[in-house]
Amino acid sequence: MISRLLDSLGLPWQEPRGQVEARIGISHDPFFTRPAIFFPDAIRPPGFLQPWRADIFERFAPEMPIVRFTGLAWFADDARTNLQKIANHFAVQLGPAPVREEHGMVRSVWQSGPASLELQAWLPTEMSRHNVNPAQDREPRLKTASYVTLLTGFRRRLSDEEAGWVANFQPIAAARPSVPLPAGSLYDQAPGETDVEYARDPTDYLPRIENKVGIAAEGAALILCTHQLFVVPARDVLGFEVRRVRPAKGAGGSTLLARCRTNCPGIAFKTLYVAEHCDPDGMTRLGREFSHLFDTTCDVRPYVEAT
């Protein structure tokens, strides 16, 4: 459903990001005063204030496709009207979707596996009338515009080698011992833009590995089934990091991260979430265990106070 929409709009959702940037170029977004890619040749829905766009960030892998396209739709100075009109437009191709008001906004979503189209418009409140928003000062229509977010849901398929690693997965710990994810939720969750290079389609392996972290047989890869299935070859595991927070105004705890090699130019490594614990020292042992398995370092960070 969403893939057909992407194709019909003419958005380059399967082309590597680096090629798209080289072909189309990077522009300045006048609304948000930051770099962006605009797609003037893509079909522009009614009410759109700009062409479709995509964000630019140094941690987006150039060999991966763009996974998030956004737009802004405005018809009148009324948030509900703007969302309903753009929802009616997309419903012609996607079918109707419910429109709900929640948390100070009006919202509508079409979901197809990890791919989705989401519409959001913020309702005026007494607090929002006094908020300072430079983008809205530059373009007042942003106050009631419908924000359109199109997620492609792209995840690479497991290669034959990676499938073998996952088939022989050896669990070491639970990712979130106190907050397990709903069963099967990974099937419908798109990866974050900075995580795409490591994320894989979990296919039929999910019931056995969900919410677990561990290694492939003989330590050939780090395998994390957290908010995505991440598969990182051992050669690309550069180290581990434990962040420790002592309780103060907020709750304390600890988080274990893996430092992974990336193809992003000028970026030494990226971090992937491994596990967490409510005890500030609860992740130190696990971090050292993983560092031993991969013959690398574990950086146990100094304590910080919760705010």
pLDDT of residue 127: 44
pLDDT for 270 beyond 80:
yes
Comparison of pLDDT for 134 and 111, the residue scoring more: 111
Hey, where are the domains in the chain?
Answer: 2-151, 160-305
160-305: CATH topology is PH-domain like (2.30.29)
pLDDT of residue 249: 80
pLDDT of residue 88: 97
Mean pLDDT of 265-293: 96
- Dump pLDDT digits (tens) for 285-294: 999 999 999 9
Mean pLDDT of 121-148: 80
pLDDT of residue 126: 44
- Dump pLDDT digits (tens) for 15-26: 999 999 999 999
- Dump pLDDT digits (tens) for 150-201: 999 999 999 999 999 999 999 999 987 666 667 668 888 999 999 999 999 9
Mean pLDDT of 140-155: 95
Rounded Cα distance, 84 and 97, in Å: 10
- Dump pLDDT digits (tens) for 197-230: 999 999 889 888 999 999 999 999 999 999 999 9
Contacts of 148 (CB under 8 A, 6+ apart): 45, 48, 70, 71, 72, 73, 86, 117, 118, 119
pTM over 0.75: yes
- Dump pLDDT digits (tens) for 72-113: 999 999 999 999 999 999 999 999 999 999 889 999 999 999
Closest CA to 270 of 210, 204, 199: 199
Closest CA to 191 of 113, 269, 121, 260: 113
Packed helices 79-94 and 2-9: angle between N→C axes, nearest 10 degrees? 100
What sign does the CA torsion over 268, 272, 274, 275 have?
A: positive
- Dump pLDDT digits (tens) for 15-70: 999 999 999 999 999 999 999 999 999 999 999 999 999 999 999 999 999 999 99
